[in-house]
Amino acid sequence: MSDTDIIPSSPLRPAPGAGRPRSRYARRLAAGLLAAGMAWPATPAWSGSCGLCARQVVINPSLAACLLRDYEVLATADDDGAIAVDLTDCEQSRGIVEALPSAAASPPEPDLRFLVSRDQLDCLKRTIERPGTVVDPVTTIDLSACE
């Protein structure tokens, strides 16, 4: 292609300015946009290596204590991008129960099983260890802030 390449238009009618040459800047811009468009779908929305990992975890104080107790075992697991956390064997507290709870105000159920990356597991541990972070009945911890 040279500096005087003509921009092709519809075969039925010529485009306005069809006889004008395409500038070098316009060709570079088009090539850059094409390259960016081809690379974009291959880029995951989350920059980590785990596409199935949880973005947030809903946890209560008893499950948080259980997770901290099991942290060493979980942290030494084979890290292929995801660590399966299973808290189903942990003792669960019922939390504070209102006298007449409304359906709209009921807290979400804690997550008993979820996948996290090693970095997310470390971040989750640090977050849980901060005093006052996990409160009764449940707390939602945003793991996207761990990136």
Give the pLDDT of the chain (147 residues) as one tens digit per residue. 555 556 555 556 655 555 555 677 666 666 655 555 554 443 334 445 678 899 999 999 999 999 999 999 999 876 667 899 999 998 765 555 555 556 667 889 999 999 999 999 999 999 999 999 998 889 999 998 876
* pLDDT at residue 44 in the model: 39
90, 61 Cβ separation under 8 angstroms: no
* pLDDT at residue 18 in the model: 56
- Strand positions, DSSP E, the chain: 56-59, 83-86, 113-116, 139-142
CA count, 13 A, side-chain hemisphere, 7: 16
Tokens for 92, please give them.
């669960």
- How far apart CA 73 and CA 79 sit, in angstroms, is 12
- Can you give the pTM of this predicted structure? 0.59
* pLDDT at residue 41 in the model: 41
* pLDDT at residue 23 in the model: 72
- How far apart CA 48 and CA 81 sit, in angstroms, is 8
Tokens for 53, please give them.
């990992």
Q: Which residues, in sequence order, are bridge partners of residue 114? A: 85
* pLDDT at residue 40 in the model: 42
